[in-house]
Amino acid sequence: MDETTSYTAFQGARRLVTGSRREVLTFLKTQPPVGSGLLVFEDGSGRTVDFNLRGDLQEVLDREAPAPVRPGPGRPKLGVVAREVTLLPRHWDWLESQPSGVSAALRRLIDEARKANPGAERRRLACQRADRFLMVMGGDLPGAEEASRALYAGDQAAFETLVHAWPADVREHVRYLAAVAFSPEPQT
Protein backbone atom coordinates (compact mmCIF):
# COMPACT_ATOMS: atom_id res chain seq x y z
CA MET A 1 0.00 0.00 0.00
CA ASP A 2 1.10 3.55 -0.64
CA GLU A 3 1.81 4.85 2.84
CA THR A 4 3.27 8.18 1.68
CA THR A 5 -0.04 9.65 0.53
CA SER A 6 -2.37 11.00 3.19
CA TYR A 7 -6.14 10.84 3.12
CA THR A 8 -8.73 12.71 5.15
CA ALA A 9 -12.25 11.49 5.89
CA PHE A 10 -15.08 13.91 6.60
CA GLN A 11 -18.64 13.32 7.63
CA GLY A 12 -20.49 16.47 6.81
CA ALA A 13 -18.29 19.33 8.03
CA ARG A 14 -16.56 17.21 10.70
CA ARG A 15 -13.12 15.75 10.07
CA LEU A 16 -13.00 12.14 11.25
CA VAL A 17 -9.43 11.09 10.53
CA THR A 18 -6.31 11.97 8.54
CA GLY A 19 -3.65 9.39 7.80
CA SER A 20 -2.30 6.85 5.36
CA ARG A 21 -4.67 4.76 3.27
CA ARG A 22 -4.29 1.89 5.74
CA GLU A 23 -4.98 4.15 8.75
CA VAL A 24 -8.07 5.74 7.20
CA LEU A 25 -9.49 2.41 6.03
CA THR A 26 -8.84 0.86 9.44
CA PHE A 27 -10.60 3.77 11.15
CA LEU A 28 -13.60 3.59 8.80
CA LYS A 29 -13.95 -0.16 9.36
CA THR A 30 -13.40 -0.17 13.13
CA GLN A 31 -15.25 3.06 13.93
CA PRO A 32 -17.73 3.38 11.08
CA PRO A 33 -19.51 6.74 10.92
CA VAL A 34 -23.23 6.66 11.53
CA GLY A 35 -25.39 8.30 8.89
CA SER A 36 -24.55 9.69 5.50
CA GLY A 37 -22.29 12.37 4.13
CA LEU A 38 -18.99 10.47 4.29
CA LEU A 39 -16.34 11.87 1.96
CA VAL A 40 -12.70 10.82 1.76
CA PHE A 41 -10.11 13.10 0.15
CA GLU A 42 -6.66 12.28 -1.17
CA ASP A 43 -4.75 15.21 0.32
CA GLY A 44 -2.06 15.43 -2.37
CA SER A 45 -4.61 16.19 -5.08
CA GLY A 46 -7.68 17.35 -3.14
CA ARG A 47 -9.78 14.82 -5.06
CA THR A 48 -12.42 12.65 -3.45
CA VAL A 49 -11.78 8.92 -3.45
CA ASP A 50 -14.26 6.09 -3.12
CA PHE A 51 -13.24 3.12 -1.05
CA ASN A 52 -15.20 -0.11 -1.16
CA LEU A 53 -15.72 -0.81 2.55
CA ARG A 54 -17.61 -4.11 2.13
CA GLY A 55 -16.21 -7.10 3.94
CA ASP A 56 -13.92 -7.36 6.93
CA LEU A 57 -10.91 -5.13 7.47
CA GLN A 58 -8.39 -7.44 5.79
CA GLU A 59 -10.61 -7.82 2.71
CA VAL A 60 -10.92 -4.03 2.46
CA LEU A 61 -7.15 -3.53 2.87
CA ASP A 62 -6.39 -6.21 0.30
CA ARG A 63 -8.93 -4.87 -2.19
CA GLU A 64 -7.84 -1.23 -1.83
CA ALA A 65 -4.12 -1.98 -2.12
CA PRO A 66 -2.58 -0.50 -5.27
CA ALA A 67 -2.61 -2.92 -8.18
CA PRO A 68 0.71 -4.64 -8.84
CA VAL A 69 2.66 -3.43 -11.85
CA ARG A 70 2.04 -5.75 -14.78
CA PRO A 71 4.91 -6.45 -17.13
CA GLY A 72 4.42 -4.77 -20.45
CA PRO A 73 6.13 -2.57 -22.99
CA GLY A 74 8.64 -0.06 -21.76
CA ARG A 75 10.36 -0.23 -18.40
CA PRO A 76 7.77 -1.25 -15.80
CA LYS A 77 10.38 -1.70 -13.06
CA LEU A 78 11.12 2.02 -13.36
CA GLY A 79 7.43 2.89 -13.13
CA VAL A 80 7.09 3.76 -16.82
CA VAL A 81 3.44 3.87 -17.85
CA ALA A 82 2.28 3.85 -21.47
CA ARG A 83 -0.52 6.31 -22.33
CA GLU A 84 -1.79 7.92 -25.48
CA VAL A 85 -0.58 11.39 -26.46
CA THR A 86 -2.20 13.40 -29.23
CA LEU A 87 -0.03 15.96 -31.01
CA LEU A 88 -0.04 17.87 -34.27
CA PRO A 89 2.12 16.50 -37.09
CA ARG A 90 4.75 19.26 -36.65
CA HIS A 91 5.12 18.26 -33.00
CA TRP A 92 5.59 14.60 -33.90
CA ASP A 93 8.13 15.60 -36.57
CA TRP A 94 10.15 17.58 -34.04
CA LEU A 95 9.98 14.83 -31.40
CA GLU A 96 11.01 12.17 -33.88
CA SER A 97 14.05 14.23 -34.89
CA GLN A 98 15.38 14.21 -31.30
CA PRO A 99 18.48 12.05 -30.82
CA SER A 100 17.25 9.91 -27.93
CA GLY A 101 13.72 9.23 -29.19
CA VAL A 102 10.21 10.52 -28.60
CA SER A 103 9.69 9.25 -25.06
CA ALA A 104 13.07 10.45 -23.83
CA ALA A 105 12.50 13.89 -25.39
CA LEU A 106 9.10 14.22 -23.72
CA ARG A 107 10.51 13.16 -20.34
CA ARG A 108 13.36 15.64 -20.71
CA LEU A 109 10.98 18.50 -21.62
CA ILE A 110 8.75 17.72 -18.65
CA ASP A 111 11.70 17.51 -16.25
CA GLU A 112 13.07 20.83 -17.53
CA ALA A 113 9.68 22.51 -17.11
CA ARG A 114 9.33 21.15 -13.58
CA LYS A 115 12.82 22.37 -12.64
CA ALA A 116 12.41 25.80 -14.24
CA ASN A 117 10.39 27.18 -11.32
CA PRO A 118 9.69 24.53 -8.69
CA GLY A 119 8.22 27.06 -6.23
CA ALA A 120 5.62 28.18 -8.76
CA GLU A 121 4.80 24.55 -9.55
CA ARG A 122 4.32 23.73 -5.84
CA ARG A 123 2.09 26.78 -5.40
CA ARG A 124 0.04 25.87 -8.48
CA LEU A 125 -0.50 22.33 -7.19
CA ALA A 126 -1.41 23.64 -3.72
CA CYS A 127 -3.99 25.96 -5.27
CA GLN A 128 -5.47 23.10 -7.27
CA ARG A 129 -5.77 20.70 -4.34
CA ALA A 130 -7.16 23.34 -1.97
CA ASP A 131 -9.63 24.52 -4.60
CA ARG A 132 -10.85 20.98 -5.33
CA PHE A 133 -11.46 20.41 -1.63
CA LEU A 134 -12.99 23.87 -1.25
CA MET A 135 -15.49 23.31 -4.07
CA VAL A 136 -16.68 19.99 -2.62
CA MET A 137 -16.71 20.86 1.07
CA GLY A 138 -17.17 24.62 1.00
CA GLY A 139 -18.86 25.27 -2.33
CA ASP A 140 -22.11 26.29 -0.65
CA LEU A 141 -20.48 28.22 2.17
CA PRO A 142 -20.54 32.01 2.11
CA GLY A 143 -17.62 33.47 0.21
CA ALA A 144 -16.51 30.19 -1.38
CA GLU A 145 -16.04 31.60 -4.88
CA GLU A 146 -14.28 34.66 -3.52
CA ALA A 147 -12.03 32.43 -1.39
CA SER A 148 -11.12 30.45 -4.51
CA ARG A 149 -10.24 33.65 -6.36
CA ALA A 150 -8.16 34.88 -3.39
CA LEU A 151 -6.38 31.51 -3.30
CA TYR A 152 -5.31 31.71 -6.95
CA ALA A 153 -4.43 35.40 -6.60
CA GLY A 154 -2.15 34.57 -3.66
CA ASP A 155 -4.10 36.96 -1.42
CA GLN A 156 -3.76 35.19 1.92
CA ALA A 157 -5.37 37.98 3.95
CA ALA A 158 -8.55 37.90 1.84
CA PHE A 159 -8.56 34.09 1.85
CA GLU A 160 -8.27 33.96 5.65
CA THR A 161 -11.03 36.55 6.06
CA LEU A 162 -13.36 34.62 3.75
CA VAL A 163 -12.86 31.20 5.36
CA HIS A 164 -12.82 32.47 8.95
CA ALA A 165 -16.55 31.84 9.60
CA TRP A 166 -16.58 28.37 8.01
CA PRO A 167 -16.95 25.23 10.14
CA ALA A 168 -13.68 24.70 12.02
CA ASP A 169 -12.65 21.36 10.47
CA VAL A 170 -13.35 22.53 6.91
CA ARG A 171 -11.57 25.82 7.53
CA GLU A 172 -8.50 24.17 9.06
CA HIS A 173 -8.21 21.54 6.34
CA VAL A 174 -8.49 24.02 3.46
CA ARG A 175 -5.84 26.15 5.21
CA TYR A 176 -3.62 23.07 5.50
CA LEU A 177 -4.05 22.21 1.80
CA ALA A 178 -3.48 25.84 0.74
CA ALA A 179 -0.47 26.58 2.96
CA VAL A 180 2.12 26.16 0.20
CA ALA A 181 0.08 28.41 -2.12
CA PHE A 182 0.85 31.33 0.18
CA SER A 183 4.50 30.51 0.88
CA PRO A 184 7.07 33.01 -0.37
CA GLU A 185 9.29 32.30 -3.35
CA PRO A 186 12.48 30.67 -2.10
CA GLN A 187 15.63 32.74 -2.55
CA THR A 188 18.23 31.27 -4.92
pLDDT computed for residue 103 by the predictor: 85
- Model confidence pLDDT, tens digit, residues 65-118: 766 656 556 666 667 777 788 888 898 888 889 888 888 888 888 888 877 777
- Name which of 42-46, 99-103, 135-139 the model is least confident about: 99-103
Yes or no: say if 125 and 183 are a contact pair by the CB < 8 Å rule. Answer: no
Strand ranges across the sheet with 14-19: 14-19, 7-11, 38-42, 47-49
pLDDT computed for residue 131 by the predictor: 94
The domains of the chain are located at: 7-64, 76-116, 118-182
- Model confidence pLDDT, tens digit, residues 60-78: 888 887 666 565 566 666 6
